[in-house]
A and B are shown apart, each in its own frame.
Chain A
Amino acid sequence: MTECAIRLLNLTKRFDGEQEPAVSALSLDVPRGRTVALIGPSGCGKTTTLRMINRLVEPTSGRIEIDGEDASARPVAELRRSIGYVIQEVGLFPHQTVSQNIATVPRMLRWDRGRIDERVAELADLLGLETEQLGRYPDELSGGQQQRVGVARALAADPPVLLMDEPFGAVDPIVRTRLQDELLALQERLRKTIVIVTHDIDEAVKVADNVALLNIGGKLEQYAAPDDLLHSPANAFVEQFLGEDREMKRLALKRVGDLPFERGPVLDLGAAPAEARALLGDARSEWLGLTQDERFAGWVPRERVDTAATLDALPRELPAAQVHPGSTLREAMEVIMNSRTSVAVIDDGGRFGGVVTLEQIRSELARRAS
């Protein structure tokens, strides 16, 4: 097994009649089982680069290796059948049913009927398509469903590599977010080598393990993990492309579960009031959190604690501010902003999982990404 599934070496593409090359001397390694996003302003050659990988565009010079093998040495039809291809306009065949569309590559590979049917059913299940929809024509489906079929069709022959050209560019933002989440979940299971072209930096940092930021003419400006890219842009161009709110974008990459555990000013109902008063003094908190059987039970204001004989008799205000270990820090921050206690409580499958504070988020952002 080679580490790199796809390796671009000094790749250049010069289109006929054009002064400047569309892509010039681009070298890039795509690790196996990882998702790499190609992003950049229009004219940066990201789509041309993608199309060179499955040879819809032939490079002027340079090389593409797939699994260590020169792509130009393989018969083009065979090469393409081993690479899933998803495009923004989907390009489903309007005259074929959903299941016929999905079966396109297996049919070309002459799989037998039974195996094809089995595979179609499996993919429908994987992408959340209903059996009833398999007999429909593409025009009868919504945009989001069509793109799911497009992905199913690309995955039909189980190719190790998947190329996606702005796959979610044509659907509305809500569906786009859902499709991105589905892609992440799918990738969690399938571990394909994915190259995805996008013009949306939020999409790139969300779905990709590595982001390649290209400038006009296919010049690679930076190739890094999303957090590195956002935290330390290599130059002014990258910084400008990422936008003013790049630190905020980083928040969307990190999860509450990744933070070090912090219990916060929280005690069990059975604890002594003196212990509570000491804790509130140390934490300089206006609120005391109470748990019962390891479940969060509510907040009590400090002045009540000061005069209480026992903690369990105090009237509690139930927390509105809750997050889960899977919530992003961006979501946690929103929750904190809207909470009276300035703290978000982590609900870890019903159990009290600690708290999140703004201070914690700030120090996490300050930490250099690994």
Chain B
Amino acid sequence: MIAPLQAQNPIIRWSWFIDEWDQVQAALVQHLELTLLALGLGLLLSAALATVALRYERGAPPITAGAAAFYTIPSVALFGLLVPYTGLSRATAVLPLAGYTLLILITAIIDGFRSVPAEVREAASGMGMSPRRRVLTVELPLALPYIITGIRIATVSTVGLVTVAAIIGQGGLGRLILDGLRRAFWTPMTIGASLSILLALMLDLAIYRLGAAATPWTRRRGA
């Protein structure tokens, strides 16, 4: 049990933060790496699965149901479940994390492509655009606002989940939190949790900015 706040165990001790900066920085970098790997893999898998769901009418329900079922598995249990197969490796952390992004990303991609107005598709085909060109130059850009929103939600939730990966020794800011818990010492917990929140907010803002730059037409509407 964690000790209550006391004079000798304040919520943050700045000297520790300065002395242990190397450790904190390493944890932050690991955290970022795990997040990006999981998101990258999640996005690839989602793109593939969403493509199938969009192409085959009957593919969509089982695919989204599967992703939803995966989402319900508690992360701690899943990490533990994978250890016998993939060991205490990075893959053991990244695979479940990527899996948790699927529900959000697949739904976002499907919604995005379904939001493309039928008449836009009709006009593109009617002008002799090949299906491939139509998807890449017309439908994908129009689906982007949905996809970007999905990526933002997936990013924020993944940054939070990465802290759990510390229990299988994959480092990250979760390690600082676990460390603090074990030693009943507030400072690393506070720093680990705060940096995790900060990282989530910064990534969210960055993706928002990138998304806005990539979809200029959405801001000049109704002028």
Interface residue tally of chain A, by bracket? Answer: 20 to 34
List, in ascending order, chain B residues with CB within 8 A of A96's CB: 217
A139 and B221 within 8 A (CB): yes
Question: In the complex, A91 Cα to B123 Cα: how many Å?
Answer: 6
B119 part of interface (Cβ distance < 8 Å)? yes
Question: In the complex, A236 Cα to B75 Cα: how many Å?
Answer: 75
Nearest A residue to B133, CB-CB: A108
Encode A78-93 as 1/0 by CB contact (under 8 A) with B.
1111000101111111
A322 to chain B, nearest CB (A): 42
Encode A146-159 as 1/0 by CB contact (under 8 A) with B.
00001001100000
Choose one: B126, B130, B220; the contact of A85 (CB below 8 Å).
B126
List, in ascending order, chain A residues with CB within 8 A of B129's CB: 77, 104, 108
A284 part of interface (Cβ distance < 8 Å)? no
B214 to chain A, nearest CB (A): 10
Nearest B residue to A79, CB-CB: B128
Q: Given A91-B117, A137-B217, A139-B221, is A81 in contact with B126 using a C-beta cutoff of 8 Å?
A: no
Encode B71-102 as 1/0 by CB contact (under 8 A) with A.
00000000000000000000000000000000
B222 and A92 within 8 A (CB): no
A85 and B123 within 8 A (CB): yes
B128 and A80 within 8 A (CB): yes
Encode A261-288 as 1/0 by CB contact (under 8 A) with B.
0000000000000000000000000000
Q: Given A87-B122, A140-B223, is A105 in contact with B217 using a C-beta cutoff of 8 Å?
A: no
B186 to chain A, nearest CB (A): 50
Encode A58-77 as 1/0 by CB contact (under 8 A) with B.
00000000000000000011
Q: Which B residues between 132 and 162 are near A, CB-CB below 8 angstroms?
A: 133, 138, 141-142
Q: Which A residues between 154 and 198 are near B, CB-CB below 8 angstroms?
A: 154
Specify the main secondary structure of chain B where it touches its partner.
helix
Q: Which A residues between 99 and 139 are near B, CB-CB below 8 angstroms?
A: 104-105, 108, 136-137, 139
Number of interface residues of B (CB under 8 A): 23
Choose one: B124, B217, B222; the contact of A94 (CB below 8 Å).
B217
Question: In the complex, A80 Cα to B131 Cα: how many Å?
Answer: 13
B138 to chain A, nearest CB (A): 6
Nearest B residue to A101, CB-CB: B123
List, in ascending order, chain B residues with CB within 8 A of A76's CB: 128
B223 and A90 within 8 A (CB): no
B65 part of interface (Cβ distance < 8 Å)? no
B127 and A140 within 8 A (CB): no
Nearest A residue to B120, CB-CB: A91
Nearest A residue to B126, CB-CB: A85
A108 and B119 within 8 A (CB): no
- The contact sample of 14 A-B pairs, CB cut-off 8 A, is A77-B129, A77-B130, A78-B128, A80-B125, A80-B128, A81-B127, A91-B117, A91-B119, A93-B123, A93-B138, A95-B142, A104-B129, A140-B220, A140-B222
Chain A contacts to B: CB under 8 angstroms: 54, 56, 76-81, 85, 87-96, 104-105, 108, 136-137, 139-140, 150, 153-154
